[in-house]
Amino acid sequence: MESSIRDNGFGRPIVVDKFRRVIGGNKTLKAAQAAGVTKIKYVKTRGDTLIVHQREDLDLLKDPKAKQLAVVDNRSSEVGLEWSTPVLQAYANSDVDLKKAGFTEAELASLFGTEETHADSIPEMELRPFEHHDYLVVVFTNSQDWAQACELLNIQREAATVGSARKIGLGRVVPAERLLAVVAGAKPARKRS
């Protein structure tokens, strides 16, 4: 996002409250700060006005930069979302109805680590003849443990959508050297898996 801001500029605004606390666009704000952006323009409304950010320097039919911005904007929305579980939990415990935001019971249970996992629901790995690798399969039954493992092993979080269904639960292959380094207390080399 930071490099896109440097290369393409902005495509959409962020949202702040009346005290300029960020409601939507935390990652955009951080990327803008990292990119060295210093210009800010506030447009004050009461939420009843559609704000259109018109880029006077771009022509979508002729300018590759406009097309690049369109792709980056949608792609960053697709992969850049990472829920803050403590914030969502605090909202759920107050007066925010997360189901009105489109969350299902299963998604909330997965996010808050309250889903039940039965031993018979854990998949077994298929053994193949003349297998040349040994496997250790670790099943995470709550999102907090998974998030901690992602941080310790430097695993990039991803979400998958197949058609209109969102896949919950993604597998990773982590090199044994990296896992052993973490278990031994050493800092693993930064690699993306």
For 63, the 3-state DSSP assignment is coil
Q: pLDDT by residue (tens digit) across 89-107?
A: 888 888 888 888 888 888 8
Q: pLDDT by residue (tens digit) across 18-47?
A: 999 998 888 889 889 999 999 999 999 999
Vertex 192, ends 188 and 193: CA angle to 5°? 100
| Contact of 72 with 4, CB cutoff 8 Å | yes
Beta bridge partners of 167: 160
The CA distance from 169 to 121, in Å, is 13
Task: Provide the pairing of β-strand 15-16 with 22-24.
Answer: antiparallel
Which pTM does this prediction carry? 0.51
